[in-house]
Amino acid sequence: MRISESSEDYLERILMLSEKLPVVRSVDIANDMGYKKSSVSVAMKNLRQSGKITVTPAGYIYLTPEGRKIASMIYERHKCFSKWLKELGIDETTAANDACHMEHALSEQSFEAIKEYIRRHPVNAPEDVSEN
């Protein structure tokens, strides 16, 4: 079942935050994403009801196996596209923003093909013509 881009973004952010914080709470997500806590609370309720996260009585948010699978897929795509775009000479902010859009749009088949292409065709820095 396909979930919304917004839900994918939240799951990805929970994964990212869980790698640097001992526990993740709604307030952490709101602060990190620049959203209102009330908006994050609604999103967390929906993710909890759909089985993508669990929330402890203390408010700690954890990804379920299903939620972790989605978050990992989106995060892998984000890292791959961001790195590739930066290697192509795109500035870091634009690369990250563009990667955020690209990560949601592709099928698994297309992403795997692009990943393989990137692996086989690494970006090389252009030669400096002033040295000739």
What is the Cα–Cα distance from 30 to 7, expressed in whole angstroms?
A: 14
Instruction: Please name the CATH architecture into which domain 5-64 falls.
Output: Orthogonal Bundle (1.10)
Q: pLDDT per position in the chain (132 positions), as tens? A: 578 999 999 999 999 999 999 999 999 999 999 999 999 999 999 999 999 999 999 999 999 999 999 999 999 999 999 999 999 999 999 999 999 999 998 899 999 999 999 889 887 655 544 444
Q: What is the pLDDT of residue 85?
A: 93
Identify whether the C-beta of residue 81 lies closer than 8 Å to the C-beta of residue 117.
no
Q: Do domains 5-64 and 69-120 have the same CATH topology?
A: no
Predicted pLDDT at 130: 46
**C-alpha of 128 from chain center:** 35
Q: What is the pLDDT of residue 2?
A: 74
In the DSSP assignment, the letter for residue 88 is T
pLDDT (0 to 100) of residue 126? 53
| Residue 77 token pair | 């795509």
Write down the pLDDT at residue 131: 45
Helices and strands (H, E) in the chain, number of each type: 6, 2
The pLDDT of residue 122: 81
Topology of domain 69-120, CATH:
Diphtheria Toxin Repressor; domain 2 (1.10.60)
CA 44, chain centre distance (Å): 17
Tokens of residue 33, six digits: 């994403």
Write the DSSP assignment of 52-87 as a string of letters.
SEEE-TT--EEE-HHHHHHHHHHHHHHHHHHHHHHH
Per-residue pLDDT at 121: 86
**All structural domains of the chain with their residue ranges:** 5-64, 69-120
